[in-house]
């Protein structure tokens, strides 16, 4: 195996173990044993499990941010942007469950630090700009856009964490219900919501 191939192998093994057990319960010994290498090989590539964990988290952070950013395009209706953002997060959770588990396990939503909280903060600031435009268009006070952005992103993020384990209902239905609540509010919920875009 080349050095690059070995590194990728260790990243894959580390990713699976961190998702299953978390960083604290994962040992360098386990990583090395699964890769059928000695512990010094892990240290040589990453300096230890913390270095490996940092590489895994960086990759997952970029993957999730790229997916969400791609969904937050202008030129669409505000509702369509909200739908696409909800689906992008649910797609990431569905396609990269191990990565999502890693991001949320060691960085709970309620904290101001940690990779997942940082991702959500970045997404909220992008949503804030979209909401400010919508608020101004509807003659609403755009100073409240940051607060509403946090609400929307938080609602989608917490729902995503719940959906990670339940996987019911299906993604489009979950996204439709998220948008239904966000768009219509409790007072005007649609009895059978569906995605418009």
The residue whose two tokens read 């856009």 is 145
Percent of the chain with pLDDT over 70: 93
d(CA 129, CA 107): 25
Give the SS3 label for residue 144: helix
Contact in structure between 69 and 122 (CB atoms under 8 Å): no
Give the single-character DSSP code of 2.
-
Q: What is the mean pLDDT of residues 41-66?
A: 92
This prediction's pTM = 0.79
**What digits encode the pLDDT tens for the residues 97-146?**
999 888 887 654 444 445 677 778 878 887 788 778 777 877 888 888 89
d(CA 130, CA 149): 9
Element (DSSP H or E) covering residue 127: helix 115-137
């Amino acid at each position: 195996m080349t050095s690059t191939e070995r590194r990728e192998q260790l990243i894959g093994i580390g990713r699976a173990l961190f998702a299953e057990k978390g960083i604290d319960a994962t040992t360098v010994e386990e990583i090395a044993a699964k890769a059928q290498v000695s512990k010094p090989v892990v240290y040589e590539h990453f300096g230890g499990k913390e270095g490996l964990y940092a590489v895994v988290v960086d990759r997952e952070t970029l993957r999730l941010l790229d997916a969400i950013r791609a969904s937050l395009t202008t030129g669409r209706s505000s509702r369509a942007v909200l739908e696409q953002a909800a689906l992008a997060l649910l797609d990431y959770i569905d396609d990269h469950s191990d990565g999502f588990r890693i991001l949320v396990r060691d960085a709970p939503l309620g904290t101001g630090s940690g990779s997942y909280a940082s991702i959500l903060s970045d997404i909220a600031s992008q949503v804030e700009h979209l909401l400010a435009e919508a608020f101004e268009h509807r003659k609403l006070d755009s100073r409240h856009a940051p607060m509403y952005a946090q609400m929307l992103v938080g609602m989608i993020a917490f729902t995503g964490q719940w959906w990670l384990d339940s996987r019911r209902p299906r993604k489009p239905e979950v996204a439709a219900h998220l948008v239904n609540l966000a768009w219509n509010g409790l007072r005007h919920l649609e009895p059978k919501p569906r995605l418009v875009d």
